[in-house]
Amino acid sequence: MDHEADAHRTDLMTITRFVLNEQSKHPESRGDFSILLSHIVLGCKFVCSAVNKAGLAKLIGLAGETNVQGEEQKKLDVLSNDVFVKALISSGRTCILVSEEDEEAIFVEPSKRGKYCVVFDPLDGSSNIDCGVSIGTIFGIYMMKDSHEPTLDDVLQPGNNMLAAGYCMYGSSCTLVLSTGSGVNGFTLDPSLGEFILTHPDIKIPKKGKIYSVNEGNAKNWDGPTAKYVEKCKFPKDGSSPKSLRYIGSMVADVHRTLLYGGIFMYPRDKKSPNGKLRVLYEVFPMSFLMEQAGGQSFTGKQRALDLVPKKIHERSPIFLGSYDDVEEIKALFYAAEEKKE
């Protein structure tokens, strides 16, 4: 790659231009979706800026409150949540918002209401802020089922009804990965321009990877198929090389690496968390949507993740997602275990 020539490129594909190009493929479109995405992008830029100067602005300390999950909230969590709630409402295109930080769903007042429902985790992995590890925002977008007074049923839809999903990772660079249902594209924030530039067009996850990603500190509580799969990763009996363990503990960073390099990311159920730990609506669904759009797959231990129908907005689920062949391998172990029980 000619970095010098790259630095002087003037024909840059910004995320705004990319979204407008996509919109032009749908002549019936009125631009509502593009406006909503531009407000999400603005929220990501704001949070990126706040994360970068968190130490300077004394935003690192605890806010002294706990969120609905019983986790202590960082000041940055509270700020990020406020930023996204305000950005989404002011777009005039949303009707229901579900955030990890808020116990109840937010119903937008009628004068500012639109037809989209947005589910999001404003700052995933925030326990890593103090040590500079990559953290991020995860989001998914649904459309209301029809024109009526919005109800919770409008967001309690299966993941395969999502129109779009993405995440923004705040790390060594600020990267936004987005799918609107026709492939996955990655954009990197150019701080000198204040614009997200297309740097990873049409991301495809390798069919099989050499990395597995799981919190092995929970190993003693795992179920049989998960333990067997991890054992197989470490001590393959077919003469192949063992897989490498990579676990950051920040879902956005772990999934981003899995998407680019291949392999499998796992957060299985265990004795401590029999229903899994990750939240269905704003963690499992958006990441599963992106994985499938990139040619991978996702699995809960029982079924395809995007076929789940959540009953509560903060419902949890086990998740295995990543390269197609790697997920296929763990599926076979789970199904074999089920057959033995029968």
End-to-end CA distance of the chain: 56
pLDDT of 63 reads: 59
Higher-confidence residue of 237 and 145: namely: 237
Q: Give yes or no for a contact between 41 and 188, defined as CB atoms under 8 angstroms apart.
A: no
pLDDT of 31 reads: 87
Q: Per-residue confidence at 131, pLDDT binned at 50, 70, 90?
A: confident
Residue pLDDT, tens place only, 159-184:
999 999 999 999 889 999 999 999 99
| Cβ atoms within 10 Å, residue 89 | 19
Rounded to an integer, what distance in angstroms lies between the CA atom of residue 162 and that of residue 180?
9
Residue pLDDT, tens place only, 86-107:
999 999 999 999 999 999 999 9
Residue pLDDT, tens place only, 9-41:
567 899 999 998 888 887 777 889 999 999 999
Average confidence (pLDDT) over 42-57: 86
Average confidence (pLDDT) over 116-126: 94
pLDDT beyond 80 at 147: no
18-32, 46-60, 72-86, 252-266: least confident range:
46-60
Residue 108: closest CA among 156, 47, 154: 154
Q: Per-residue confidence at 1, pLDDT binned at 50, 70, 90?
A: very low
pLDDT of 52 reads: 85
- To the nearest whole number, what is the mean pLDDT of the chain? 91
Percent pLDDT > 90 in the chain is 75
pLDDT of 247 reads: 96
pLDDT beyond 60 at 334: yes
Containing H/E element for 283? Answer: none
Average confidence (pLDDT) over 141-148: 85
Q: Which amino acid is at 44?
A: C
DSSP letters along 244-264, please?
EE---S-HHHHHHHHHHH--E
Place of tokens 């326990």: 127
Q: Per-residue confidence at 57, pLDDT binned at 50, 70, 90?
A: low
Higher-confidence residue of 262 and 144: namely: 262
pLDDT of 341 reads: 72
List the 244-245 sheet strands across, edge first: 244-245, 211-213, 264-267, 319-322, 297-299
Residue pLDDT, tens place only, 285-309:
999 999 999 999 999 999 999 999 9
pLDDT of 6 reads: 53
pLDDT of 100 reads: 96
Rounded to an integer, what distance in angstroms lies between the CA atom of residue 156 and that of residue 154?
6
Percentages helix, strand, coil for the chain (3-state, rounded to 5) are 40, 25, 35
pLDDT of 145 reads: 78
pLDDT beyond 60 at 312: yes
Q: Per-residue confidence at 72, pLDDT binned at 50, 70, 90?
A: low
pLDDT beyond 60 at 186: yes
What's the predicted TM-score (pTM) here? 0.92
pLDDT beyond 70 at 158: yes
